Amino acid sequence: MTMEIRRFAVEDTDAVVALWADAFPNDPARNDPPQMIARKIARDAELFWVAADGAVVGAVMAGYDGVRGWIYHLAVTPARRGEGIAKALVLHAMGELRALGCPKVNLQVRGGNAGLIAFYEALGWQEDDARSFGLLF
């Protein structure tokens, strides 16, 4: 079966929850997959995609506020890593953001994730000279 990238569907919820639980085992409570999915669907479901070949094998979310875009929670099932699925998901998200008129896309990678940093650098991403701040509500 051929892999396709398509918009997330509610029927994908369990598969994406399992994927993210595996890919991000130490995520903070605010990133609880079912809650994150519910918030994304309520806000801008059109910027949430899965890679599937009968089963969900990858997922990514994006956001766009009219100034810059963001890519979030890229994950590929461990058995399928190295097949270009992550790259296809990122390029798809970038294309969708570009189609919305987005002039710049940002993402964040935790400092200790050398493999993911190398992945994005290989795709041409560069580290911004900026600091990331956050505030929990």
What letters, b where the CB count within 10 A reaches 16 and e where it falls short, cover 44-79? eeebbbbbbeeebbbbbbbbbeeeebbbbbbbbbee
pTM of the model: 0.92
pLDDT at residue number 109: 87
Instruction: Choose from 28-37, 95-104, 113-122 the range with maximum mean pLDDT.
Output: 95-104
Q: What's the whole-number average pLDDT of the chain?
A: 93
Q: Where are the domains of the chain?
A: 4-122
Tell me the CATH number of domain 4-122, given options 3.30.1490.190, 3.50.50.60, 3.40.630.30, 2.60.120.260.
Answer: 3.40.630.30
pLDDT at residue number 1: 66
